[in-house]
Amino acid sequence: MNQNRKYPSIIGALSMLLGLYGPGAVADEFSDADIDRWEMEYEVVVEEGEKLFHGGLGNQNTVSCDQCHPNGANTHPETYPKFQQQLGKVATLWEMINWCIENPLQAEKLAADDPKLIALQAYITEERKGVELMPGKH
């Protein structure tokens, strides 16, 4: 094999290593102040989800999540993804929330990245903090 042709790939591998473990990694460092801020941002989203869960989605029939799920805890986020009979497939938590939004709440389903759907998931999941993950469980 031609030795000269080997060098570019070695240089390439070296620069990749430097990129991964060198200056690139330094940019990912964070401080206690960052963690405080991130936790605060998370809390705000959880609180928003709690409000939406207890009526706040603006649906015309005014049905709210807590009428059938008295608190977030009986929504079993730790069992997702799992096969959901209503959807006829293995589904994620947000797809099941959308099923409830479309059916009992008779409202338009939300986009996966809709802040309201993210907030609902944050609240529901926070309610089950510490529970062992059991994806696929019924």
List interacting residues with ligand HEC (CB under 6 A).
Answer: 53, 57, 63, 65, 67-69, 75-76, 79, 86, 93, 96-97, 100-101, 104-105, 120, 124
Q: How many of the other CB atoms lie within 10 Å of CB of 54?
A: 15
- Minimum Å gap between C-beta 94 and ligand HEC is 9
Contact 92, 19 (CB under 8 A): no
Return the residue matching tokens 């799992």: 82
- Nearer to ligand HEC among residue 48 and residue 53 (C-beta): 53
- Nearer to ligand HEC among residue 15 and residue 86 (C-beta): 86
Contact 77, 128 (CB under 8 A): yes
- Nearer to ligand HEC among residue 4 and residue 85 (C-beta): 85
Which sign, positive or negative, has the C-alpha torsion 131, 132, 133, 134?
Answer: negative
CA distances from 119 to 59, 97, 104 (A): 17, 11, 19
- Nearer to ligand HEC among residue 34 and residue 114 (C-beta): 114
- Minimum Å gap between C-beta 91 and ligand HEC is 9
- Minimum Å gap between C-beta 86 and ligand HEC is 6
Q: What is the CA radius of gyration of the chain?
A: 22
- Minimum Å gap between C-beta 51 and ligand HEC is 12
- Minimum Å gap between C-beta 47 and ligand HEC is 15
Q: How many of the other CB atoms lie within 10 Å of CB of 69?
A: 16
- Nearer to ligand HEC among residue 45 and residue 105 (C-beta): 105
For 34, the token pair is 């960052």
